[in-house]
Amino acid sequence: MPENPAMRAFSLSVALLIATAGTASADFASCVAGLRSAATSAGVPGATFDRVMRGVEPDMRVIELMQNQPEFKTPIWDYLATLVDDQKVSEGRALLQKHSALLARIEQAYGVDRHTVVAVWGVESDYGNISGGRFLPQALSTAACFGPRRREFFRGELISTLKIIERGDLAAEKLRGSWAGAFGHTQFIPSTYLRLAVDFDGDGKRDLVDSIPDALASTANYLKRSGWITGASWGYEVRLPSGYAGPSGRTNKSGVDAWASRGITRLDGSAVSGLPAAGLLLPAGRNGPAFLVTKNFDAAYAYNAAESYALAISVLSDRLRGRPGIRTPWPTDDRGLSRAERKVLQERLIARGYDVGKPDGAIGALTRAAIKDVEAKLGLPQTGRAGGKVFDALQ
């Protein structure tokens, strides 16, 4: 009987997958042997390495995630709409009240205001609700062995992880976090933990996973070490004069008098004032919101080197104080959606017969596929993006 071509192709695909998996496993074993040598040379006992790494296999999803960091690939109006929404503000204000005494002690010890500390907590892990579930030794060893870039960095983070375990601050099973190795309430990477984590609850351990005092104080310590100026603002939104073609850039700092001389004002038209040296941040170009940003903005940037991230921290801290959010419209006709709106969008898709799973505001593959189908029917570009146009069209 002649061989079925489709079956033959399927069989070849399966064989290729098995062969590829086998090669990856062999390559990983060889790489792990090299990691063990590097770890023991750095002072990690071989027995600790063997115990932690026993049975660990590569997680190739880590490599995919390395190429898709949202703070670099997501439009900034989407990024901020999700991270700085009314729900985040409401929950953050409740936590400011709940932990008022603790935050007062942290302010006294490190000189970083409570609103910024809580904003970092909210952006990094949704106040401890989403801290990542990847076993750090597995994620970091995968990145160190197969990553398209920065393999030495991830090797160092794996060694730092093993040192944390060896010192007894955290058990191996507690070290779960992001693909890049960030963990705990405020998502420290292991090397930063070793340098800057503090024991603020006095139990003899630096625990960013189960101790809110340790996590928030460690964050304040990080910001202080990154150049935080006590009592200064991160900056504020400003208005550019028509046709502005002057200097810009976060690091291109001038005194506020220099910015005033270039025609830049506060949003209400009053003179810019009350800031140390500041740079002009134009995250979406000259047709979008503009901000004067100080070294305190740079300290937030140091936490995660993306200007969209630092802006999320800064704007959330303002909203936690009761100040307004960004007031100048973004240069788009397809606005970003808050988490609540994303959940409503999913409910509308379900009502139209699409399977998007549980409506939770998290946009996954099923939701993106449904959005693409809706976009096609509406004659829109098929992006799979949860934006205002699709949201409004499904009302």
**DSSP state string for 253-306:** EE-HHHHHHTT-EETTSPBP-S-SSEEEE-BTBTTS-EEEE-HHHHHHHHHSS-
Over residues 166-170, the mean pLDDT reads 93
| Structural domains in the chain plus CATH codes | 15-67+132-174 (1.10.8), 339-393 (no CATH)
- Give the model's pLDDT for residue 378: 87
Q: pLDDT by residue (tens digit) across 264-307?
A: 999 999 999 999 999 999 999 999 999 999 999 999 999 999 99
- CA-wise closest residue to 391 among 92, 178, 375, 309: 375
Instruction: Give the separation between CA 317 and CA 335, rounded to whole angstroms.
Output: 22
Q: 281 has which bridge partners? A: 291
pLDDT tier at 67, thresholds 50, 70, 90: confident
Output the average pLDDT for the chain: 92
- Give the model's pLDDT for residue 26: 72
Quickly count: other Cβ atoms within 10 Å of residue 111's Cβ: 14
Over residues 186-194, the mean pLDDT reads 98
With a cut of 70, say whether residue 332 has pLDDT above it.
yes
Q: pLDDT by residue (tens digit) across 335-365?
A: 999 999 999 999 999 999 999 999 999 998 9
- Give the model's pLDDT for residue 66: 85
The pTM (predicted TM-score) of the whole model is 0.90
Over residues 129-143, the mean pLDDT reads 96
With a cut of 90, say whether residue 181 has pLDDT above it.
yes
Q: 213: which residues sit within 8 A by CB, 6+ positions away?
A: 102, 200, 201
